[in-house]
Each structure stands twice: as C-alpha cells, then as structure tokens.
Amino acid sequence: MPETFKAILISRDEDKNQTVEVTSLSEADLMEGDVTVAVEATTVNYKDGLAITGKAPVVRRWPLVPGIDFAGTVLSSDHPDWRKGDKVILNGWGVGEVHYGAYAGRARVSGDWLVPLPDGISTHDAMAVGTAGYTAMLCVMALERHGVLPQRGPVVVTGAAGGVGSVAVSIMSGLGYHVVASTGRSAEAAYLHELGAAEVIEREELSGPARPLGKERWAGGIDSVGSHTLANVLSMTAYGGAVAACGLAGGMDLPASVAPFILRGVSLLGVDSVMAPKELRIEAWRRIASDLDLGKLSALSRTIGFDDITEAARDIVEGRIRGRVVVDM
C-alpha cells in the first residue's frame, strides 16, 4: 500500500454548498509538478481563512487542498534547480486556490515556484513570517524604491495587529522608521509597542469617509485594509509620499478623490505577492533574513497543530487572531 498522509480537502456539491473534511491522500493523489516536498510547516493566512470558511471565492478548483504557503524539504525533483534534501519555501502561485496546497503532508509543485530557505532561518521561522510577512517585506521594498526612507518622516501601518501589519511594524521599526500603528483592537497596543511601534492609533481615525485632503501626517504607509482606510491614509500622506497597498480586509472599494495624487504628488503602489517574479521573491526573503529581528517571531506568532487549522481559519476571518499562526506539520 502507498504511504498516506493527512490532508484537508475542500469540496463543493452541485448546489455549490461547500464542505471541509480531513482525509488521507497519497502522493498519487497530488497534482502535476516536477518537485515533491515534505511539508514541515505552514501557516494560516487571511486568504486561507476565506478559503476554508467560504467567505470569499478564493478556491477556484474543486476539490482542493487549501493552504497558500509552506516550507519543507524536497523529497524528489525533476527540476534542475532542486535536489533531494533541499530546504524550500513556497508563497502563492495559485497554490491553495487552483493547485493543491499546504494543508497536507506532501505537496507537488512546479520547481519554478520555489525559493531557497535562507541560511539561519528554520522552516518554522519561515512560516512565522509566511506570505503575510513576505508581503510586508515586498511593501517595504516598494516604499524604499520610491524614496520613502526613515529620514522622510513617520510611516503608518494599518491592520497593524494582523499578520502583514505585525511583520511590517517589526521590520520598519528595525530599519529606523517612526512607525504609527493603526488597529481596531486597542488591547493590542502593548503588543504593537513591543514590536517597535512608536505610536498606536485607533482604527476609527481612518475608517470614516475620507476628505479629499487631510492634514499631512506621514511620509508613506503600508495598507492591508483598503476601502475608507486606504482613502484616509492617502489623504493624509505628505507631499511626494507613497502608500503600498496589499490587502482588502475592509473592502475592495477605494472611495477616494484624485486630490492626493495631483495636488501632493502622492503615489499608490500596488503590491502583489502571488505572482511576483522569482528574483523579487529571493530578494525579499534575503531581506527578511537580514532585516527582521527573528527574536521577535515568538512575540508575533503562535504555533498550532494540523488538527487546529480549521478553527484558526474561522478565527482569523472573525478578527480573533493577532500576528501570525504557524502550523507544525
């Protein structure tokens, strides 16, 4: 009999009713790919929560193993870049959306989707960072390319107690930025200060309808919320500043005016982590290894087991999780 492993499988019936079950799979059940990886650690991202709860149409192939990122060890490879025993990371590329994902003991994927695990980072550490933290680093790099450096002034991070926000606060404070952390959970203020936030503001300051232009409060920002929050952040960004947008937890709409763009020269930088080029991914993970204080990972993450994934997925969608969740596989 072939070796089997546990997996979470999302299915849907003819009436589009979704079911989530724990099942057993073998490598013969996996989808096409030229590299097979033993999944050692994964995580629960907001997108994973949407997929498992069915709150948004993340899954586009049925049935599907969810989980958009993982870290592990190559078991076999027909790809020239990878050999058995290599430690690798995967983020995005439609894994957990249209291709079997991380919530299984094994994953078979294209070797072009993998990046090497940086020296000095364990697979557990990599998933304490995960797609959320990798996205945060892409946002930091986008701001840097635009010239939003620490000497330009404060930066704001919205959704600061979430996965992207927590890592963004930690990275940017470590780089010397004066970080203003916006959160809807005032009880998390001490946590955000521990990560390096210089100021913590209430989400309500940014959640109402935005004025065309507000008082200039920051040189730039990282936004994972969207909607009115992003509109307010843009209206309060100083002349020549920039905001990196990477999420839509508050909505896909952007009820803003063109005033920040044409009167203050503000730039809106879209950041995509799913299809980002491999060179950019490798650079982001190199920067994570060098610029993120790995000692803070224990403060911004907690570890759960495979059997706790479904509950964590519900919790993250309901806003009951702070920071990052690592799944020890």
CA–chain centroid gap for 263, Å, is: 32
Give the model's pLDDT for residue 1: 63
Q: Residue 189 and residue 196: Cα distance in Å, rounded?
A: 11
pLDDT reading at 180 higher than 90: yes
pLDDT of residue 153: 98
Nearest-CA neighbor of 72 among 113, 126, 132, 112? 126
Token pair for 190: 């001490």
Domains of the chain and any CATH numbers: 4-117+298-328 (3.90.180.10), 130-270 (3.40.50.720)
- E strands, 49-97, are 69-77, 87-91
Range in 35-44, 196-205, 286-295 with the lowest mean pLDDT: 286-295
Contacts of 300 (CB under 8 A, 6+ apart): 128, 166, 167, 170, 195, 323, 324
Q: How confident is the model at residue 68 (pLDDT cuts 50, 70, 90)?
A: very high
pLDDT at position 56 is: 86
Question: Residue range 250-267: average pLDDT?
Answer: 97
Beta strands in the chain (DSSP E): 4-12, 18-26, 35-43, 69-77, 87-91, 106-109, 114-116, 155-157, 179-183, 199-202, 218-223, 237-245, 267-270, 301-305, 324-328
Contact (CB, 8 A) for 201 and 180: yes
Task: Give me the mean pLDDT over the 51-61 stretch.
Answer: 92
Residue 223 — pLDDT band, cuts 50, 70, 90? very high
pLDDT of residue 325: 94
Mean pLDDT of the chain: 95
145-161: average pLDDT? 97
Token pair belonging to 60: 């586009």
DSSP structural state of residue 99: B
For residues 212 and 235, the answer to whether their CB atoms sit within 8 Å is yes
Distance from chain centroid for Cα 282: 16
Is the predicted pLDDT of residue 185 greater than 90, yes or no? no
What is the rounded (10 degree) CA torsion for 57, 61, 62, 63? -110
Percentage of the chain with pLDDT > 70? Answer: 100
| Mean of pLDDT values over 71-78 | 98
Provide, rounded to the nearest whole percent, the portion of the chain with pLDDT above 90: 90
**What is the amino acid identity at position 278?**
K
228 against 295, higher pLDDT: 228
Structure tokens at 158: 């919205």
39-65: average pLDDT: 94
pTM, two decimal places = 0.91
Model pLDDT, residue 270: 98
pLDDT at 4: 95
64 pLDDT band (50/70/90 cuts)? very high
286-292 average pLDDT score = 94
pLDDT at 282: 96
The tokens for 326 are 């690592």
pLDDT at 173: 97
Are β-strands 69-77 and 18-26 bridged in parallel, bridged antiparallel, or unpaired?
A: unpaired
Hey, what are 38's tokens? 């033993």
- Three-state secondary structure of 160-221: CCCHHHHHHHHHHHHCCCCEEEEECCHHHHHHHHHHCCCEEEECHHHHCCCCCCCCCCEEEE
CA-to-CA distance for 254 and 264, rounded, in angstroms?
Answer: 18
CA dihedral in degrees (27, 314, 276, 302; nearest 10)?
-90
Q: How far apart are the C-alpha atoms of 270 and 6, rounded to whole Å?
A: 37
Amino acid at 182: S
